[in-house]
Amino acid sequence: MTTPEDRRAFGRTVASLRKDRGLTQEELAAKVGRTASWVSQVERGAQPVNRLPVIRMLADSLGVATHDLRPDAPADESPAPVPAERSNDLDQARLLLSGHPIPDLLLRHPGLSAESTQQLRQEVDRVWDHAHNSRYIELGEGLADLLPKLERAARTSAEPHRSTAWSLLSQTYQVLAAAFVRQDQPDAAWVAADRAISSAERSGEPHHVFASVFRLVQAFVRLKHLDQAEHAATTAIRALVQAQEEVEPAPEELSLLGSLYLSLALVHARGGARHDAREAITQARQVAARLDGDRNDFNLEFGPTNVEVQAVSIAVELGDAGEAIDNGERIDAEALSAERQGRLSMDLGRAYAQRRQVGEALAAMLAAEEATPDLIHTHVAARNAIRELVLISGSKASPDLLQLAERSDAMP
């Protein structure tokens, strides 16, 4: 299976068989030991499946013969080699969180040169770029190779390269935590964020500790551990506020503070604390006003525009659909990452769905899908909104809506 059309045809077969057997993507994923996002990507043709053991697991889980699923699959027990399968979500990266990160360090591999450290810095920038644009194929591949190299460099390099390696390792675990949250794997995000905090402290760069705490708060929110999320956010905010009272803060410190206020607003919104959520948004706006425009310190994308994007999301969480729509339609998010643009469109779609404006909701969801397909196809809130739109529309559901629901596995 080498061409995009081959992958799409295989994906359509998997999706058809799964639905015939009344399985959700989550249920099929559990049977084959993968994630729902992996199944979604297989069915869309984004994830190649070339290894015979994986094909057999899928066939067994769907109750068909291997050749019914892939007629070209080898039938013997010693099949000819097939092209290597690329991981299109974070299964491999999740395995890297299991156990000690580098058990072969007992062999004392040599440290890295300054040139190698510079190369690793470029690789870290690259995986963050993949995350901001929701390119999970490239992100998963890059992390699988990058994390072990950084773990080794952090433990074996001589100074000053060792501190740099710890810092890069923290940044890499931060991107992993962010990606796990977006793919609804908050337990893995918690582990990644905790490792990011530890690595940042060992690097001697306290600002990355606070950036890592932000990722930890996101994981706690997704896990519905709102008390832990609030504690982590407020503790970090208090420390930053106290430090900034003594010394004029640098712009990157304001980015940290504002981002933590945004995370606290989400915590309060999820807990139904309307007044506290709005107060936290107000605090974030005040911090953003002290900056000279939008920034991307610590890959947080904090600035006036992102504050308003997040305010739309908070309004949707609080059920204030009219406010979300009025404010969201005025935001120009073109300067932000594809992920942020997709999130804004998704939240506008959710807001229109709350008001039962099917046409507007569908247009916003399709815009979000164009910007970041994985966000719409795997985000629980997006899929719930799409399912609700189908139910509202009933027999009048448009082909575009039904096709979106099919792609997102959101059919009622």
392 within domain boundaries = yes
Burial (Cβ within 10 Å: 0-12, 13-18, ≥19) of residue 136: buried
| 60 shares its domain with 134 | no
11 within domain boundaries = yes
| 121 shares its domain with 177 | yes
| 62 shares its domain with 123 | no
Q: What is the pLDDT of residues 179-200, one digit of tens each?
A: 999 888 899 999 999 999 999 9
Highest mean pLDDT among 8-17, 109-118, 127-136, 238-247: 238-247
Query: Into how many domains does the chain fold?
Result: 3
Burial (Cβ within 10 Å: 0-12, 13-18, ≥19) of residue 30: middle
Q: What gap in Å lies between CA 90 and CA 216, rounded to an integer? A: 18
Confidence of residue 89 (pLDDT cuts 50, 70, 90): low
Residue 111: its pLDDT value, please? 55
Which of 144, 173, 203 is the last residue before a domain boundary?
Answer: 203
409 within domain boundaries = yes
| 121 shares its domain with 63 | no
191 within domain boundaries = yes
> What's the CATH code of the domain at 52?
1.10.260.40
Q: What gap in Å lies between CA 101 and CA 118, rounded to an integer? A: 22
**Do residues 385 and 350 lie in contact, with contact meaning Cβ atoms separated by under 8 Å?**
yes
31 within domain boundaries = yes
Torsional sign, CA 38, 43, 48, 54? positive
Which of 168, 203, 238 is the last residue before a domain boundary?
Answer: 203
Which of 159, 184, 203 is the last residue before a domain boundary?
Answer: 203
130 within domain boundaries = yes
Q: What is the pLDDT of residues 340-354, one digit of tens each?
A: 999 999 999 999 999
Q: What gap in Å lies between CA 154 and CA 357, rounded to an integer? A: 53
| 65 shares its domain with 142 | no
144 within domain boundaries = yes
Q: What range does the domain containing 32 cover?
A: 4-69
User: The pTM is what?
Assistant: 0.81
Q: Does position 102 have pLDDT exceeding 60, yes or no?
A: yes
